[in-house]
Structure 1
Amino acid sequence: MKAKLVTLLIVAATLVLVAVKFQHYIENPWTRDGYVRAHIVEVTSRVTGPLVALHVTDNTRVKQGDLLFEIDPRVYQVALDKAKANFAQAQAALERSQNEQHRGRALEQRTPGSLSTLSLNNLDNAVESATANVKAAQAAVNDAELNLGFTKVYASTDGYITNLHLALGAQVVANQPIVALIDENSFWIEGFFKETDIEQIAMGDDAQITLMSYPHSPFSGVVESIGYGIAQQDGSTGSYMLPNVNPTFQWVRLAQRLPVKIKVSQLPDDVQLRVGTSASIIIKGV
């Protein structure tokens, strides 16, 4: 009799623990499908040329405005010098046309009829054309100055240089990504929760995050947003313009997972966030 009573107590305690755990799970959605995210800046050059100086190494931290690398500036310096020379010529042509216009107008005032209306109009048109040429030459100078400045590439934000595979002498192509710069001020945690859990999650809810790389250093966060959609798999166009439809079992209906964005509230000193690493997340509510 005593043994049966002990067994019943153990079973009852087990059921209570299971019920508590289940209630805790229902009230506090949890997922192991979480990842560290951050904004990634694709560092590109605005001009083409060989690399002549490299001021960073792979996986190093940089500050906004730090010089990353330099492209051979000689071609762009020559282009700037040529643009400035053309600008000087355009200015000289403008001064000459203005002088001719001034003399023609002065002669016409002293001796009315000495110049035809067509000649006077031509003098005015010459000044307008020369003025336009000066503006175009000034724009060319500005463009050349920009290109010369673009031979030096700077960090656009504080962050970490990663996946750097550059060497001196390498040809850099304009508007082609060269290296990734991870914005250190943009880290967040993205967790994928089952759609059946979304009802229990609200913006502003507290969250506890544990990274797989730091299992003994959990930290806190706040739900910032909940995704409004995910990509559709069934019905996407496949070969021969026919829809792809994945086979499903009628008696099994799998819950989809929706992304939940979590802002990190407080990060332990010994934890370094790295994009793409795994995380476990539990939503505790406000």
Structure 2
Amino acid sequence: MFKRYLLTFIIVSAAIGTLYSQYQTDLANPWTRDGQVRAHIIQITPRVTGQIINMMVKDNVLVKKGQLLFEIDPSIYQVNLSKAIASEKQAEALLDKAENEALRANNLEKLTPGAQSQLTLNNLQNAVETAQANLLVAKAQVEEANLNLQYTKVSAPIDGYITNLNYRVGSQVIANSPIVALIDASSFWIEGFFKETDLNDVSIHNKAQVTLLMHDSEVLEGEVQSIGYGIAKSDGSTGNELLPNVNPSFQWIRLAQRIPVKIKLTHLPKEIQLRVGMTASVQIIKH
């Protein structure tokens, strides 16, 4: 009987010791289950309006920087470029005419002083300057039309993953309206939200351990890259009828706010693919 009580006491003591040790570890090295995989996301936005005539990618695929994603119908922009080139040639001809008339008047004035009034000479010089300005405008219009024609081909600005692609050949796109997300393949990080009371003595380059919910058997190594400097307030924000929105709370309870901490993984196994929004647990090793 005594041995049974002794064995029970030893087991309970060991369990309490283990729990206490784990508690001390958690105090020394803060841990949170409130973590997510994040990455920089670029919104692919066409610069011109038109109908998609070629779609070179599919949804949820990896694309390389400079790879053609889709092409917008270029016909109207080709016509605009031809019009701009014609206007440029017309402006060049008008400039030549103005310069010739001014040169003829100046030469005549040199040969026969007083043959041309000063007003006429000034007007001819003004005509030359106006024609020069019109030529500059025409050249700018050609450049703009050429750029718009180039913008009908939309390419990937970086290496990344296309996601949420809902457009197909025949879809109409509008200039400066995003149509698909491109996740920067080189920008993945883990963002853990820690209680402010857990961040004492946490500093940049502290080691961190990350466990993904999707790969809970793998412990990923990382380090603290940055600690957030602010979060949005909930109390005092404008509610209905422009009144401040205040959440009810007990006066004797002060809840610790959660501060975002950015963790950069130092090594990622090849078999693990990070995806934005995945759930992660994060522990910061302070000591």
* Deviation larger for 71-80 or 248-257: 248-257
Counterpart AA for 2:82: D
* Structure 2 CA distance for aligned equivalents of residues 211 and 4 of structure 1: 41
Give matches, 1:69-108, under 5 Å.
Answer: 69-108=70-109
Provide Cα deviations, 1:39-65, integer angstroms capped at 9, x if missing partner: 111001100011100000000100000
Give matches, 1:113-128, under 5 Å.
Answer: 113-128=114-129
For 2:274, the equivalent position in structure 1 comes to 273
What is the CA-CA distance between 1:243 and the residue it aligns to?
1.0
TM-score, normalisation: structure 1: 0.97
Counterpart AA for 2:254: R
Provide Cα deviations, 1:196-247, integer angstroms capped at 9, x if missing partner: 1011421110111111111112211110110111111111111121111111
Q: Secondary structure at the match of 1:272?
A: coil
For 1:24, the equivalent position in structure 2 comes to 25
Q: Give the number of equivalent residue pairs.
A: 286
For 1:50, the equivalent position in structure 2 comes to 51
* Structure 1 CA distance for aligned equivalents of residues 53 and 11 of structure 2: 75
The 1:263–1:172 alpha-carbon spacing in structure 2 relative to 1, beyond 3 Å, is same
For 1:171, the equivalent position in structure 2 comes to 172
Say whether 1:195 aligns with 2:196. yes
* Deviation larger for 221-230 or 86-95: 221-230
What is the CA-CA distance between 1:24 and the residue it aligns to?
0.5
Unaligned runs of 5+ in 2: none
Q: Secondary structure at the match of 1:115?
A: coil
* Structure 2 CA distance for aligned equivalents of residues 18 and 182 of structure 1: 41
* 8 Å CA contact 1:51, 1:167 repeated in 2: yes
Q: Secondary structure at the match of 1:275?
A: coil
Q: Secondary structure at the match of 2:116?
A: coil
What is the CA-CA distance between 1:263 and the residue it aligns to?
0.9
* Deviation larger for 57-66 or 14-23: 14-23
Provide Cα deviations, 1:159-213, integer angstroms capped at 9, x if missing partner: 0000001111111111101111000011111000011101142111011111111
* Deviation larger for 77-86 or 16-25: 16-25
* Structure 2 CA distance for aligned equivalents of residues 201 and 243 of structure 1: 34
* Structure 2 CA distance for aligned equivalents of residues 140 and 114 of structure 1: 40
Q: Secondary structure at the match of 1:96?
A: helix
Counterpart AA for 1:173: I
Over the matched positions of the two proteins, sequence identity in percent amounts to 55
* 8 Å CA contact 1:217, 1:271 repeated in 2: no
Counterpart AA for 1:118: L
Q: Secondary structure at the match of 2:283?
A: strand
TM-score, normalisation: structure 2: 0.96
Counterpart AA for 1:222: E
* 8 Å CA contact 1:235, 1:243 repeated in 2: yes
Unaligned runs of 5+ in 1: none
Q: Secondary structure at the match of 1:90?
A: helix
* Structure 1 CA distance for aligned equivalents of residues 179 and 5 of structure 2: 73
Counterpart AA for 2:184: D
* Structure 1 CA distance for aligned equivalents of residues 3 and 49 of structure 2: 87
Q: Secondary structure at the match of 1:157?
A: coil
The 1:170–1:2 alpha-carbon spacing in structure 2 relative to 1, beyond 3 Å, is closer
Say whether 1:36 aligns with 2:60. no
* 8 Å CA contact 1:36, 1:279 repeated in 2: yes
